[in-house]
Amino acid sequence: MKLKLVKKIVSTSITVILYAVLFMMIFVVVSSKAAGGEPQFFGYQIKTVLSGSMEPGIQTGSIIAVKPGGDMTRFKEGDVITFKEKEDILITHRVLEVIKNGEHVMYKTKGDNNDAPDLEPVLSENVVAEYKGFTVPFIGYFMNFMNSKNGALMFIIPGILLILYSGFTIWKAISTIDLSSKKDETIEKNIS
């Protein structure tokens, strides 16, 4: 009796995990496509960290939550900002110094793990968001893969696993029914 209960719990757990992974991947991909490439949750954007410049606080391969928008001249020394270095390259570094030149504000930045500050100051117009302290290690590798050309595989794999597991469950149920009906036939023959 206990063995059946354990099998049922394991079976249900596997099914729930596979469905959760599938739905999580669907949510991440759909939300990233709807947001124009970066998933957003409750006004925060999720960014993938692909370098170790902010270690140990932000590990390579992590995802971080950043808050876009607002007055990009508001940052002060010690804040961590995400800015455009080039058209398609985002960097998250700490503000070392705020440089005001008339109406323009620039930030001297540095990665916590870097030996020297960044070569050029960051214009406030190039700041896209502020890092809010939320990070999840290693998920960034997964998210980066999901946004690649091969990311569709991440839908296919859980789908195939669900189909195989469902097939196995159906096969076990049919085997149990067949075994039960064979036992009934044997009992009927013995009675006759």
Q: Are 114 and 54 in contact (CB under 8 A)?
A: no
> What is the Cα–Cα distance from 60 to 137, expressed in whole angstroms?
8
Q: Token pair of 120, please?
A: 């050029």
User: Which residues are identified as catalytic?
Assistant: 51
Structure confidence at residue 108 (pLDDT): 92
pLDDT by 10s per residue, the chain, length 192: 677 788 788 878 887 887 777 777 667 666 666 655 556 667 777 787 888 888 888 888 887 888 888 888 888 898 899 898 877 788 889 999 998 888 889 999 998 889 988 888 888 888 888 888 888 777 766 666 666 666 666 667 777 877 887 888 888 878 777 666 666 666 666 665
Spell out the residues 6+ positions from residue 104 whose beta carbon is closer than 8 angstroms to its own.
123, 124
CA separation, residue 101 to residues 96, 105, 122, 124, 175 (Å) = 16, 6, 13, 11, 79
Residue ranges of domains in the chain: 1-37+147-167, 39-140
Q: Which CATH class is domain 39-140?
A: mainly beta
Instruction: Please give the helix or strand (H or E) that residue 142 lies within, else none.
Output: helix 139-146
Tens-place pLDDT, residues 36-64 = 555 666 777 778 788 888 888 888 888 78
- What pLDDT sits at residue 192? 58
pLDDT of residue 93: 92
